[in-house]
Amino acid sequence: MKIFLNFLIPAILFAACGPQERISKTVFDEVNKGMEAKKLSEAQITQEAMIWGDSISNEAQQQLMANLHKAVNEQGATGALSFCSVNAAPIIKELSEKYGVIIRRTSTRARNEENLPTKEEFPILDAYQYNAENGIENDPNIQAIEGGDVLLYTKAIVISTEFCLACHGHPKKDIETGTLSKIDSLYSRDLARDFEVGDLRGMWSLKIPKKAVVLRF
Ligand code: HEC
């Protein structure tokens, strides 16, 4: 059974990358009309969305991390918690508006309930988790959703350094008592603790309209 799953899960993820879902005719016609819009094949749209998704999620990650490091340096982990709870969402929202792409961070062990996975995101997170536990590398994934007009780009988020543990590690051992009580007061249903370096923390999830990809050309 284990061997079968080992084979099956990457196969599902890989299959999900294929251009098997067709773009609807309305969107295809709309995006291709006009002199400026260059005609792109389904495969090119998927490929470009993959590159764009990578660059947007990197930009979002860098912005969050730069601000978080600054807040921790200035106010310590406890003080920086308010930064995360107040500022993480607006930073992500601003980038979403800038690019016309819905950007989210999601996790099955979320701190903020709003970051729990949707039905579309859950199976991908589950596969990432399986891969992480079995030493299989987690590549970014892209698949068509919403009738084929939107691409869902996802990329794993890993607990990369001990820095994360001050707020996501083991209570008392990694998370100081003062920080812990502030987490409890801000998030009554926090699931984002007990992580270790190297664990899968969640994933970036970007809804990229195919139309937005084509209009960039
Ligand atoms: C100063 C404390 C602090 C540190 C350090 C920290 N986080 Fe968080 N993290 C938070 C808080 C608070 C939230 C909830 C933010 C919100 O309400 O949207 C959060 C949310 C998240 C989420 C969104 C999913 C969820 O649980 O709601 C991810 C993913 C995440 N953190 C990853 C990381 C990673 C990776 C690191 C290390 C590079 C890190 N965090 C370091 C406090 C922290």
Tell me the pLDDT tens digit for each residue of 151-172.
999 999 999 999 999 999 999 9
> Would you say residue 29 lies in a domain?
no
> ∠ CA(120), CA(126), CA(127), 5° rounding?
100
> Would you say residue 114 lies in a domain?
yes
> Would you say residue 26 lies in a domain?
no
pLDDT for residue 182 is more than 50:
yes
pLDDT for residue 9 is more than 50:
no
Which one is predicted more confidently, 145 or 12?
145
Query: What pLDDT score was predicted for residue 186?
Result: 94
> Would you say residue 146 lies in a domain?
yes
Kindly provide the b/e burial profile for residues 149-164, where b requires at least 16 CB atoms within 10 angstroms of the residue's own CB: bbbbbbbbbbbeeeeb
For residue 78, the ligand 1 atom closest to its alpha carbon is 1
The whole-angstrom separation of Cα 82 and Cα 62 is 19
Q: With contact defined as beta carbons under 8 Å apart, do 150 and 120 qualify? A: no
> Would you say residue 34 lies in a domain?
no
Residue 160 belongs to domain spanning: 2-17+46-215
Mean pLDDT computed over every residue of the chain:
87
> Would you say residue 28 lies in a domain?
no
Pocket test for ligand 1, best of 74, 84, 115 (most atoms within 8 A of CB): 84
> Would you say residue 188 lies in a domain?
yes
Query: What pLDDT score was predicted for residue 83?
Result: 83
> Would you say residue 119 lies in a domain?
yes
Into how many domains does the chain fold?
1
Ligand 1 site residues, Cβ closer than 6 angstroms:
68, 72, 77, 80-81, 84-85, 88-89, 105, 107, 110-112, 115, 157, 159-161, 163-164, 166-168, 192, 201-202
Tens digit of each residue's pLDDT (9 = 90 or more) over 64-100 = 999 999 999 999 999 999 888 888 899 999 999 999 9
Query: What pLDDT score was predicted for residue 82?
Result: 86
